[in-house]
Amino acid sequence: MAAKSGIRNYAFAVTESGTPEVKEILTHHLVEALDMHEQISSYMVEKGWYHAWDTNEQISLDFDNINTALNLPNL
């Protein structure tokens, strides 16, 4: 979530920047944030933790993770 928030914030900052120099720097950071998000997403897909194109599978995985988290105090 933090990666997505960073992308959103950089995109907003680019549109609000007042000078070309600031806009260029912010755009560079935005591109880096997008690259990082892609790396994170790819890693999660490879590990089987993220199913962006299979909603039912993702929901099932999310429920499994919720149940695991709820049962941690019982371990």
User: Which pLDDT value is given to residue 24?
Assistant: 97
> For residue 67, what pLDDT is reported?
94
The ranges assigned to domains in the chain are 2-74
Asked if 40 and 3 touch (Cβ cutoff 8 Å), the reply is yes
Tokens describing residue 61: 């995985």
Give residue-wise pLDDT tens across range 6-55: 999 999 999 999 999 999 999 999 999 999 999 999 999 999 999 989 99
Return the pLDDT at 74: 81
pLDDT beyond 90 at 66: yes
Reported pTM: 0.76
- Residue 52's pLDDT is what? 86
